[in-house]
Structure 1
Amino acid sequence: MFQGHGDDGYLHQHTLAADFSTNVWHGGAPAGLKEYLFIQWEQVQRYPEVLAESLTEKIAAFYGFKTGNILVTNGSTESIYLIAQALQKKKSTIAVPAFAEYEDACKMFEHTISFINWEELQNGLVPDTELLFICNPNNPTGAVFTDLENIIKAYPEILFVVDEAFIEFTLSVISVIALIERYGNLIVLRSMTKAYAIPGLRLGYIAANASLINSLRSFKLPWAVNAMAIAAGHFIYDHYQEVQLPLQQLLAEKADFIKGLAGTPLTVYPSHTHFFLASTPIHTAASLKQFLLKEFDILIRDASNFRGLSEKHVRIATLNENKNQLLINALAEWKHI
């Protein structure tokens, strides 16, 4: 899906008053990172490390893993396509609604694809499959799966691909990354772009047992992670405690935001993250998106292209109080058109 993701503000010529379409942390990159990257500028004059080896060592050491348990990638999207390629033509199931790249990657590498509704999986229905893709917390719903270890343990014949791109945005579930050495049927995907607000640099990593990482590494292109992304990763792990987002504050702001939206036409659905789904009772998500852009320079995510959602669904991320109020005010006008 080359088009149809959130944060498509670059397609619009005018300056946005507020961008609710992206679920990247609105507070921006960690303090000091920009200056640090400027100092590293000369690194772009030579090739980066072939497999981001130095950052691999740092991430592995952070978790107490061996370097063979980590593969640094050009964002989670590269991770997804590497898995689909290394395990091509497998029988794969995707818990939906979900990020479209799981399906696109599996199609590219000739998987037999099926889908399971998120609620069905939570209720104990486990599909007959070889790979199971689960985003936890889920994008776009913000739902969480709290007992993943139980099903990972109970179904050793299924390879669980758990995408934790938004794990930093919830207090409702903890990462399963510590389980990779215990279970050989677990791959964990982590993103370093969302919580640290550097999506333009493209940086993430895969954690799994050594044999799985070896298989994935054999399909990885050299120099896929650029020098500035590697440098950003070093900065983040060297200052890890200082660069974490203020999650308690963000979730409190989200709660206030949802209270404000209660007086608008939107129906808001429960979420364990700073972003959430909503639906419009009139017209469509596409027309609401265009209305907000044209009249208020506000961008939201038309979520109708997520498998399992309808033409009425939008995804909204929490911004600061002033910008949240802009959307609340704008939606009062939508109510009257």
Structure 2
Amino acid sequence: MLFGHGDDHYNSQKEVKINFSSNVWHGADLRTLREHLNGKFCELTRYPEPDASSLKRLLARCYEVEVDNLVVTNGSITAFYLLAQTWKGAKSAIAVPSFAEYEDACRLYGHEVCFFPTSCDLSALSLKGQDFCWICNPNNPDGKLIHREELLTLIEANRQTVFVIDQAYVAFTTEELLKPSDIFNHPNLILIQSISKEHNIPGLRIGYLIASPEKVEQINRYIIPWSVNAIAVEAGKYILTHPEQYILPICEWRRETIELIDRLNELGNLEALPTSVTFFLARLKKGTAAALKQYLWDHHGLLIRDASNFRSLNETYIRISAQTAAENRVLVEAVREWFRRF
């Protein structure tokens, strides 16, 4: 889905004043990272490491896993396509609504795909005959979360199925999620994570997967050399070695998210749904997501996510990522103004 994602800021013909469509930490202070990368400009004059090995070693130390458990990728999305390619023609079950690239990657490489709702009772979920199960946790776009023990129980009960768990939003919740060390007791687990989201650098494309050495060896057969650029590698290394500079105030952001949900629900013409993270779905009771998105963009310079192209959702769904308290109030008033048109 090359042009189907929410943050189409690149497509704007005018300034986007506030971006509610992109699920990244809006308050990241990137000044020291910018200074560091300016000093690494000379890295552009030579080839990067073929497999981002220095970043891989650092990730292994940080997560107390082995280098052979890691694959660094050009954004977490590349990991999805690598997995689908490595086991092309497999049978895959995908939780929906969720990130469309799981399905797109699977179909590109001939997987037989089936779906199950994110709201289903996992204890009753049948994965017999499924080679892979793809789950985003916390989930995009609805922010639903499967608790760690519940997910481990599901993985343990279905050892014949490989679970691809996308934890790109692990930093956006206060709940305990799966740990990289969980792969040691669960060889049918592949964890995918991202450096981009919580540090507000999605343009650099830095992701990685953690799996058993046997699976990593198979995946590495399909890695394209130099697929992670030198500046991305340097950025990842700087962030991992300076964690004190990147403390995400998740409790405060969650409070602002809950307040935004409450204010939107007070409008009466939409239902903003509960979430475990800092973004959420809302269902319009009047109008369409496309019309509201266009209005906010044209009249206020605000960008939201039209969520109608998520499988199992329709034209009434939008996704919003909370920003600052003041910016959230701007959105509420703009949406209120739009509803007055009916």
TM-score, normalising length: structure 2: 0.96
1:334 Cα offset (Å): 1.6
Find out whether 1:282 has 2:281 as its counterpart.
no
The secondary structure found in structure 1 opposite 2:277 is coil
Alignment of 1:197-208 (within 5 A): 197-208=200-211
CA distance in structure 1 between the aligned counterparts of 2:235 and 2:280, rounded to whole angstroms = 29
Find out whether 1:215 has 2:257 as its counterpart.
no
Match of 1:231 among 231, 234, 237: 234
1:90 Cα offset (Å): 0.2
CA distance in structure 2 between the aligned counterparts of 1:159 and 1:187, rounded to whole angstroms = 7
Q: Percent identity?
A: 39
Alignment of 1:139-178 (within 5 A): 139-146=140-147, 147-178=150-181
**Alignment partner, residue 306 of structure 2:** 302
**Alignment partner, residue 259 of structure 2:** 256
Find out whether 1:324 has 2:325 as its counterpart.
no
Q: Write the deviation string for residues 9-64 of structure 1: whole angstroms up to 9, x where unpaired.
A: 11111111211010111113544111111111100100000000011000001111
After TM superposition, the structure 1 stretch with the greater mean CA deviation from structure 2, 279-288 or 99-108, is: 279-288
**Alignment partner, residue 311 of structure 1:** 315
CA distance in structure 2 between the aligned counterparts of 1:161 and 1:328, rounded to whole angstroms = 36
1:213 Cα offset (Å): 0.7
CA distance in structure 2 between the aligned counterparts of 1:42 and 1:63, rounded to whole angstroms = 30
**Alignment partner, residue 9 of structure 1:** 9
Q: Write the deviation string for residues 67-93 of structure 1: whole angstroms up to 9, x where unpaired.
A: 000111100110000000001000001
Q: Write the deviation string for residues 219-277 of structure 1: whole angstroms up to 9, x where unpaired.
A: 01000000010001101110124313111111111122222212222210110000000
| Root mean square deviation of aligned Cα | 1.1
Find out whether 1:91 has 2:94 as its counterpart.
no
**Alignment partner, residue 125 of structure 1:** 125
CA distance in structure 1 between the aligned counterparts of 2:4 and 2:121, rounded to whole angstroms = 26
Tell me how many residue pairs correspond in the alignment. 337
Residue identity in the other structure for 2:36: Y
1:279 Cα offset (Å): 1.0
Is contact 1:79-1:205 (8 Å) kept?
Answer: yes
Q: Write the deviation string for residues 282-335 of structure 1: whole angstroms up to 9, x where unpaired.
A: 121111111111121111000000001111000000001121111100011122
Q: Write the deviation string for residues 166-212 of structure 1: whole angstroms up to 9, x where unpaired.
A: 01001123233220111110000001110011100000100011001
CA distance in structure 1 between the aligned counterparts of 2:97 and 2:37, rounded to whole angstroms = 37
CA distance in structure 1 between the aligned counterparts of 2:227 and 2:94, rounded to whole angstroms = 26
Gaps in structure 2 of 5+ consecutive residues:
none
Runs of 4+ in 1 over 6 A off after TM superposition: none
Residue identity in the other structure for 2:215: L
The secondary structure found in structure 1 opposite 2:120 is helix
Is contact 2:75-2:207 (8 Å) kept?
Answer: yes
After TM superposition, the structure 1 stretch with the greater mean CA deviation from structure 2, 301-310 or 249-258, is: 249-258
After TM superposition, the structure 1 stretch with the greater mean CA deviation from structure 2, 74-83 or 244-253, is: 244-253
**Alignment partner, residue 138 of structure 1:** 139
Residue identity in the other structure for 2:234: A
Gaps in structure 1 of 5+ consecutive residues:
none
Is contact 1:236-1:243 (8 Å) kept?
Answer: yes
CA distance in structure 2 between the aligned counterparts of 1:122 and 1:165, rounded to whole angstroms = 21
